[in-house]
Structure 1
Amino acid sequence: MEEPNGSASSHDGRWLNPAAPSDKPDAEDGGMKESDAPLVSPPYWQTRARGDSLLSEVDTKRCSGPIRLRDNTEEESDLSNACWARSARIDDYVIVSGSVSKAGLGSYVVWNCTVETLNGGSFKIRRRYSEFDRLRNNLVKTFPHAGAALPEIPPKSLVHRFQPKFLEKRKIGLAHFLNCVLLNPEFTGSPVVKEFLFG
């Protein structure tokens, strides 16, 4: 910033005078030496004085009134009434065997889930991966604008589908998905979610 006496302010608040000798010791001889080149302020500091910006001025006469705050947590709020779940977790899983003669053919995994409600109660549901997949697809169709709020469910794998490490990762991903759905007031009151939970 250009000052009336020709000096400029540095970024750390010191005043720099382009014609003044340097106070820094010379690295080669360890003594004090005048700077060979004068210290010059950048051009944008030299041409503008502080306060010249029109963008920093605020027109307070155009304000129409006070800012109004609205509390959406009141009892009459539709969104707060739609929220009824506190959390969801997947406790464990059970591998249901299919045909014994054909190595794993027809076998599937059932996920044991617990949903805790805001009033302190809880209930258990048992769902297959395909039901979580159907829930997500139905929510995307029902709420096309809210697809970004829905996390992806863990991917399928024909090779690793019954391995404990794979199932533990899937358990974490499905629990995250279920919490995102049940804790979103727009989703949790929908018929799609009610069908998944109580159907």
Structure 2
Amino acid sequence: MPPGPLDTHRPRSFRSEPRSMASAEHPGSPGRTGPVTQCTAGTKPEASAAGPDLPHPGPDEDSDADSSPSLNSSMTTRELQEHWRNEKRCWKPVKLLFEIASARIEERKVSKFVMYQVVVIQTGSFDSNKAILDRRYSDFERLQKNLLKSFGEEIEDVPFPKKHLMGNFTQEMISERKLAFKEYLSQLYAIRCVRRSREFIDFLTRAELKEAFGCLRAGQYTKALDILVRAVPLQEKLTGHCPAMVVPALCATLVCHRELERPLEAFAAGERALERLGAREGHRYFAPLLDAMIRLAYALGKDFVSLQERLEESQLRKPTSRGFTLKELTVREYL
């Protein structure tokens, strides 16, 4: 019988998850920590990563050609050309297109508003994971106000449709705003520091992720998964510069599958999360995720020893006190 990651007891099942030795520190809900990166009007480079949820050095979806390492001067022209062709294939930029597919008028007891359906698709290939979001004028307005606080100079030339005292529900006005919001999102996305900001990413993902984590807390695992399946692909497309930002959602996916007794799907979600964490042993999800993956691997007859060694080596390098289990950590997100 293999030892557990932190003791010598045999894991009872993949649904039994011991408390890990992860740090109990929890910086709070993602989306409440300000912009992921800041930039000025083209004069300062973007800040490199420092915290567990911030970008770190390395290739990303916006890498510039002159940022690549210098090549061996002895390479022939043909070899150089082949090298850059391979580089382009490996690091093909992710580009997104925004459409306002439709709009509908909704009436509530005390309010009446227009709901715009935003469709986000990836260019360059068939995108089977296009995102469909519902946002109202007040959501766009909140995004604009938040961006002005951090990127006033960068977005000063990006037009935003103004409010009107009358005529907001006419077909003419709705059609005009559909085009305006499409152009607005496209122009924001074209600004590198804006598309990487917490404000922009939250506008496109936070509402759906908040709902999914709420369902997880309520034990509605199937409903939570239905939302995560739609939200996570878009979050991944938006966070290529900082892959760790998607780790909480992937861990929530693992927890939901595990609670629904789908260990294979849970393990697959955990592998994706570990891949995005990389060597970031200080991340608050690192030890709890490894604990959960060791239990799943053992229950599935997979290689758990390498995962256990990875956790033990991490604890030797940086000992931590007993902290949250993976489920305890995920249910604290978006509170």
Question: Normalized against structure 2, the TM-score is what?
Answer: 0.33
Tell me the secondary structure at the aligned position of residue 148 of structure 1. coil
Q: Any unmatched runs of 5+ in structure 1?
A: 1-74, 100-104
Mapped to 2, the partners of 1:190 and 1:153 lie a distance apart of 18
Amino acid at match of 1:157: H
1:168 paired with 2:175, answer: yes
Mapped to 2, the partners of 1:152 and 1:139 lie a distance apart of 13
1:79 paired with 2:62, answer: yes
* 1:139 matched residue in structure 2: 147
Larger radius of gyration: 1
* 1:66 matched residue in structure 2: none
Q: CA deviation at 1:84?
A: 3.3
Q: CA deviation at 1:144?
A: 2.9
Structure number having the greater helix percentage: 2
**Cα RMSD over matched residues?**
2.2
* 2:191 matched residue in structure 1: 184
Mapped to 2, the partners of 1:193 and 1:120 lie a distance apart of 24
Mapped to 2, the partners of 1:96 and 1:127 lie a distance apart of 12
Question: Normalized against structure 1, the TM-score is what?
Answer: 0.53
Kept in 2, the 8 Å contact 1:85–1:115? The answer is no
Give me the identity figure in percent: 22
1:67-104, CA deviations, whole angstroms, 9 ceiling, x for partnerless residues? Answer: xxxxxxxx9367348x63321010010110123xxxxx
1:19-39, CA deviations, whole angstroms, 9 ceiling, x for partnerless residues? Answer: xxxxxxxxxxxxxxxxxxxxx
* 1:123 matched residue in structure 2: 131
* 2:108 matched residue in structure 1: 98
Mapped to 1, the partners of 2:96 and 2:61 lie a distance apart of 17
Structure number having the greater strand percentage: 1
Higher relative contact order (CA 8 A, sep 6+): 2
Q: CA deviation at 1:158?
A: 2.8
Mapped to 2, the partners of 1:147 and 1:117 lie a distance apart of 23
* 1:60 matched residue in structure 2: none
